[in-house]
Amino acid sequence: MNTVDNLIDLLSLEETSKNVFQGVSKTVGSPNVFGGQVLAQALNAAARTINNGRVLHSMHAYFLEAGHLEVPINYNVADVRDGGSFSVRRVTAEQEGRTIFILSSSFHKREEGHEHQIEMPPNIKKPEELLSWTEMLEQFGDAIPSRTKTFLEIDRPIEFKPVEVVNPFNKEDLPPKTNVWFKIKGDIKPMDLAVKQQILTYISDYNILAAAMNRHASKAHWGNTQTASLDHSMWYFRDFDFDDWMLYAIESPNTSNARGFAKGNIFTREGKLVASVAQEGLMRPIKK
């Protein structure tokens, strides 16, 4: 899976009965189903039941059990409410009779109102000045730890360019933040806003816990820490296009009780704030 068309195919579910949809999975390098995939597929299911032109503005989800890559996922959508301005859908994802994930999403009719937004972080290097994951693998493959190298070798429909590159051999704690430029691969055709939001949600589960891990880099890394997404929330503010690089600016206010919390803002290159994200994830030290 290495183009946006592949990703759209993955996120486009089969409707098996009224308000019931089924999807398959593709690995991103983990033995379990990628959380971003389940988030985006659940939103695809929810959006398919919206027939009044309303636009997704927020979602909140919990990951209950790890998903199996080889088993189809069934998404059951409940029509919770269709009010005068908002429509709410609840999605339950199941595998072999087990509930692995739940999501609530809210859709709002288009309205005009007051506007403001925060600014993009200043003095961020442009993507043209940075190496992508693919370029890092090509240039430094032999020096990259084997677990990270295996992860980077997976074909993806998105290219990432981290602004701050963490050297795993420098055992020092870093600021609890990270900034990553991203761009989807392949020919970019016109897309409905709902599809763009689903793709953005898929991408939002990448990199976010890295900000929490950075603060403990002197002792914690992906090889000695069990990590998993526990919950994920997202708010969608403005329409956008994927025709240029976008910035995911992430910071982690807290880690405690074997959990890390991080929040992020997604901007266009021009500085338009498109969405905000919050996630708490498992960060459990692996005992030897």
Residues annotated as catalytic (active site), given as ranges: 205, 229, 279
User: Exposed e or buried b for every residue in 127-165, given b needs 16+ CB within 10 A?
Assistant: beebebbbebbeeeeeebeeebeebbeeebbbbbbbbbe
Q: Which residues pair with 13 in a beta bridge?
A: none
Separation between Cα atoms, residue 71 and residue 94, nearest integer Å: 10
Using an 8 Å Cβ cutoff, are 263 and 276 in contact? Answer: yes
CA distance 266 to 44: 20
Q: Are 193 and 219 in contact (CB under 8 A)?
A: no
Side chain identity, residue 260: G
Q: Which of 283, 282, 276, 284 is nearest to 60 (CA)?
A: 276
Instruction: Supply φ then ψ for residue 103, to 5 degrees.
Output: -145, 140
